[in-house]
């Protein structure tokens, strides 16, 4: 079993989110972890599955209309105009699938921070969560990503700014991990080199080898159907 590293693709928000979910639900080799880095056809935003569309529209009022899609995972609003975006899918039964969400979150971000440090960037995983005013243990709910770093996000150790965050979804099929790195906070680095280093560390941590793998041959009607679902106004306004 290897870590299947899929080719880079460029698409709009609905297609990118739909394909990530399809990789979670179906794959020719169900036992294999799979990874993909992808690009965006133009300026785009995504937001967490549980977020209210009214809040999203109010927050992004100055940007609307824009390429906008609800993610299958949780988390807050993410600006994809200058980010490095990826998805990791782990099959059901994998150790990280069975682990607590905080454990899988930290494991992936440890690999990401190590890859940034290898390129000379001051990056680390945040291991303490300062309570906000009012005495709560952590912030109340997902708002806008990258406004503040939460527990196990990746931060710039020189400035304290959040570099990378992610969101997860577990189903009976596996675990989907969708992550984003703000490039201007990640440093002036060769992002292709970062990607290779990140994948190597992920594969090592997962106990497998990284293997470049052709794109899976999904039935065309299935791909079109799920993209249509993620493009529909009903999905955008689900909550």
Question: How many CB atoms are located within 10 Å of the residue 110 CB?
Answer: 17
Residue 129 · residue 137 · CB < 8 Å: yes
Q: 9-11 and 3-5 as β-strands: parallel, antiparallel, unpaired?
A: unpaired
Q: How far apart are CA 224 and CA 239, in angstroms?
A: 24
Which residues contact residue 48 at a Cβ distance below 8 angstroms, ignoring those fewer than 6 apart? 70, 71, 73, 74, 75, 76, 77, 142, 167
Rg, the chain, Cα only: 17
* Predicted pLDDT of residue 145: 60
- For the domain made up of 3-236, give the CATH fold: BirA Bifunctional Protein; domain 2 (3.30.930)
Q: What is the pLDDT of residue 136?
A: 38
Distance (Å, rounded) from C-alpha 20 to C-alpha 28? Answer: 15
The domain locations on the chain are 3-236
Q: Cα 214 vs. chain centroid, distance in angstroms?
A: 21
The one-digit pLDDT tens for each residue of the chain (239 residues) are: 899 999 999 999 999 999 999 999 998 777 899 999 999 999 999 999 999 999 999 999 998 889 999 999 999 999 999 999 999 999 998 999 999 999 999 999 999 999 999 999 999 999 987 655 443 334 445 666 666 688 999 999 999 999 999 999 999 999 999 999 999 888 889 999 999 999 999 999 999 999 999 999 999 999 999 999 999 999 999 98
Cα 86 from Cα 25, distance rounded (Å)? 17
Q: Where are the alpha helices (DSSP H) in 99-147?
A: 101-118
Give the pLDDT confidence score for residue 236 in this predicted structure: 94
* pLDDT tens, residue by residue, 139-166: 445 666 666 688 999 999 999 999 999 9
Q: How far is 124 from 141, CA to CA, in rounded Å? A: 23
Task: Considering only the C-alpha atoms of the chain, give the largest distance between any 2 of them, rounded to a whole number of Å.
Answer: 52
């Amino acid at each position: 079993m290897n870590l299947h590293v899929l080719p880079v693709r460029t698409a709009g928000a609905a297609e990118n989110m739909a394909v990530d979910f399809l990789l979670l639900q179906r794959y020719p080799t169900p036992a294999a972890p799979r990874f993909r880095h992808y690009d965006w056809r133009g300026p785009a935003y995504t937001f967490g599955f549980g977020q209210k569309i009214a809040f999203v529209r109010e927050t992004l009022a100055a940007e609307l209309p824009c390429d906008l899609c609800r993610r299958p995972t949780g988390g807050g609003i993410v600006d994809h105009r200058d980010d490095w975006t990826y998805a990791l899918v782990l099959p059901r039964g994998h150790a990280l699938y069975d682990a607590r969400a905080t454990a899988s979150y930290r494991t992936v971000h440890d690999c990401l921070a190590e890859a940034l440090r290898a390129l000379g960037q001051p990056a680390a995983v945040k291991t303490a969560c300062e309570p906000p005013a009012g005495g709560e243990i952590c912030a109340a709910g997902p708002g806008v990503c990258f406004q503040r770093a939460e527990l196990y996000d990746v931060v710039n150790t020189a400035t304290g700014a959040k570099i990378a965050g992610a969101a997860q979804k577990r189903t009976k099929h596996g675990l989907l991990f969708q992550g984003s790195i703000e490039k201007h906070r990640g440093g002036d680095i060769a992002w292709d080199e970062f990607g290779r280093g990140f994948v190597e560390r992920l594969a090592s941590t997962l106990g497998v080898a990284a293997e470049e793998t052709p794109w899976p041959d999904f039935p065309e009607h299935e791909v079109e159907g799920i993209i249509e679902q993620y493009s529909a106004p009903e999905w955008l306004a689900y909550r």
